[in-house]
A = this chain, B = another copy of it.
Amino acid sequence: MSIKKTEIIIKPLKKFNLEEGDVLHALKSSEKEFNGFGEAYFSTIKTQKIKAWKRHLKMTMNLIVPVGNVQFNFYDDQKDILINTTIGEKNYSRITVPPMIWFGFKGLSSSTSYILNISDINHDPHEVERQPLSFLNFLSK
């Protein structure tokens, strides 16, 4: 919790196939990407819809997509693209996002996709900045 993270980290996660239903890893407190627990919540994104743009001033996010597939775009302060990647059922991974990164995401599945965010702080509207979709170019490819 004392380490200042400044990098976006993408880490493949394990999925165990069992007869009655799978087990999917998300986050352990022993992993270096764990930055403390404030809140866990889900955001869903419908087919071909985009939620953008938003950045957190304080929150570090840990994003996991157990259901569906979601394309994420991350931009820095200078409006330079940092990462354009897709995670979800086809690429079961976690994205750790430090504060001050602009992000947007798009639902790529034919049904609604689910994003779990395990954040290091409780929801606080004062630490969120929002901009309209036109603020940055959402790269769909």
Contact = CB atoms under 8 A, between A and B. Distances in A.
A122 B29 contact: yes
A131 to B, nearest CB: 15
A74 interface: no
A111 to B, nearest CB: 9
Interface of A: 19-30, 34, 36-46, 49-51, 66-67, 107, 112-114, 116, 118, 122-123
Nearest to A70: B21
Contact of A46 (B20, B41, B50): B20
Nearest to A66: B42
Q: Is the interface of A mostly helix, strand, loop or mixed?
A: strand
A26 B116 CA distance: 9
- Identical copies of this chain, number: 2
B39 A27 contact: yes
B112 A51 contact: no
A42 B20 contact: no
A33 B38 CA distance: 13
Contacts of A42: 22-24, 26, 66
B49 A38 contact: no
A15 to B, nearest CB: 9
B25 A41 contact: yes
B43 A23 contact: yes
